[in-house]
Structure 1
Amino acid sequence: MNYENYEKWLRTQLLPNLPPNSVVVVDNVSYHNKQWDLAPTSNSKKADMQAWLTDKGIQYEESLLKPQLYNLIKANKKRFTTFSIDRILAEQGHQVLRLPPYHPDLNPIEMAWSDIKQYVGSKNVKWSVTKCIELIQEKVLLMGAWDWQKLCKKVKDIEEQYAMSDCVVDLVTEEFTIRVNEDSSEDSLGESDDDDSASTDDRSSPESRPSTSKRPCLETIEGVIPLSDSD
């Protein structure tokens, strides 16, 4: 698949069958992310750099050299990034939602393909290409609306699990940062042995340890059990 073939399919097959005001969910393969109106590169002509900055309403001084102009472009190009398929779909009143990179578990189509591949692999014992195509078509016909609903529900359940675990990431990273800062501050100040022992006692005291009352979300995550003060 390349962008040209994908755009042809998009215009001739997908768009005519989309309900009004649809949201099209796509992953991050290259042909989904072909950029529209690419920003100049470091090898572009100076006039092209100036034209792009002018078109985007970004002020610059005429005396700036190419490296300085390119630094301006790099600092601003991300907010002007647009994708070709987004423009095509927007013209028909549709929106595009991109999945997070490297998250096939949030894509029910990937799950469907996984089921199809398992089905083909279990039956295509001779590894015939013709037989492989037949088995793909056979499995697709066997997968009905109910199967698709189950896959979509599974993705929603995974999304909820990710949302519930967000607080765990915050707590773990924050506690880790605090501990690193405490250790590094002691090293940099060059405190005496007496001071070190005192600070160690402070850190081991119940008052200085994280309270489980601050981590209620851990109890909601399967397999994560917060430590009690007696542990």
Structure 2
Amino acid sequence: MNVDTFEKWFKNQLLPNIPSSSVIVMDNASYHSRKIDKPPTTATKKAGIREWLEKGVTVPDGLLKTQLLHLVTRHITAPDTNYVIDKTASEHGHRVVCLPPYHCQYNLIELIWAQVKGYVSKRNTFRIADLKPLVHESLNNVRADNWKNAVRHAKKLQEDDEKRCGDLPLHRFFHYHSHIF
């Protein structure tokens, strides 16, 4: 998967097929997080750094790349959290909520995929022709109760983590969104 393929799928396949005002939950895969007007880094070519700066800064001629990068750091006014996917979802009346980094155990889809894979593995004949219908059958067996149970399980994991961590701030995703299911 790459950012271009994901964004095309997101816009052309996902958004037209979900209810209005949906909350879209995503993990922190790099292809989910392309920034709008991403500031240049040391890996950016000098011309690219200059081009980014010239959108709002007068850049003297003859500066070295390191000097241009110093100008970049001086002109980033706030953390850049504007992502292409968030903007695209918002333009279609939806909202994106990202799971906290390194907490895949809170990801509901992982629990549902485990259910689907378990179903397939118990019935697998190891014939490739049987696999696709078996996957479809398994997906059709996913019910609202399965999602509710996944929410309950992930919420319990989060609560247990919060108890273990004491006063450390943890993401409050499931406390806010558990009403969805």
Please indicate, yes or no, whether the TM-score normalized by the shorter chain is above 0.5.
yes
Query: Aligned partners of 2:99, 2:81: CA distance in 1, in Å?
Result: 17
Deviation of residue 9 (structure 1)? 3.0
Q: Which residue of 2 aligns with 1:199?
A: none
Residue 163 of structure 2 is matched in structure 1 by 164
| Aligned pairs, number | 167
Change beyond 3 A, Cα 1:52–1:19 = same
Kindly indicate whether the alpha-carbon contact (under 8 Å) linking 2:35 and 2:80 is maintained by their aligned counterparts in 1: no
Q: What one-letter code is carried by the residue in structure 2 that aligns with 1:70?
A: L
Measured against aligned partners, the alpha-carbon deviations of 1:127-179 in whole angstroms (never above 9, x if no partner) come to x3332222211111112111111111111111211222221879xxxxxxxxx
Per-residue deviation, 1:97: 1.4
Give the alignment of 1:49-128 within 5 angstroms. Answer: 49-55=49-55, 64-73=63-72, 76=76, 79-126=79-126, 128=127
Q: Which has the larger radius of gyration?
A: 1
User: Structure 1 residues 131, 3: CA separation in 2 closer, same or farther (over 3 Å shift)?
Assistant: farther
Q: What is the CA distance between 1:24 and its match in structure 2? A: 1.4
Per the alignment, do residues 70 and 162 of structure 1 end up closer, same or farther by CA in structure 2, a change over 3 Å counting? same
Structure 2 counterpart of 1:144, one-letter code: R
Contact 1:39 1:77 in 2 (8 A): no
Give how far 1:70 is off.
1.3
Pair 1:12 & 2:12 matched: yes
Corresponding residue for 2:45? Answer: 44
> Helix, strand or coil for the counterpart of 1:28?
coil
In the aligned structure 1, how far is the partner of 2:122 from the partner of 2:18? 35
Query: Structure 2 vs 1, CA of residues 168 and 38 (structure 1 numbering), >3 Å: closer, same or farther?
Result: closer
Structure 2 residues not aligned, in runs of 5+:
170-181
In structure 1, the gaps of 5 or more residues are 171-231
Which structure has the higher relative contact order (CA within 8 Å, separation 6+)?
Answer: 2
Which amino acid counterpart does residue 45 of structure 2 have in structure 1? S
How far is 1:107 from its partner?
0.8
Q: CA deviation at 1:20?
A: 4.3
Residue pair 1:25, 1:99 contacting (<8 A) in 2 also = yes
Preserved contact between residue 108 and residue 151 of structure 1 (Cα < 8 Å): yes
Rounded Cα–Cα distance in structure 2 between residues aligned with 1:16 and 1:136? 23
1:21-32 to 2 correspondence within 5 Å? Answer: 21-32=21-32
How large is the Cα RMSD of the aligned pairs?
Answer: 3.0
TM normalised by structure 1 equals: 0.59
| Identity of matched residues, % | 35
Q: Give the Cα separation in 2 of the matches to 1:111 and 1:83.
A: 27
Q: Is residue 26–residue 96 contact of structure 2 (8 Å, CA) maintained in 1?
A: yes
The answer to which structure has the higher helix fraction is: 1
**2:38 and 2:80 in contact (8 A); partners too:** no
Q: Hey, what does 2:136 align to over in structure 1?
A: 137
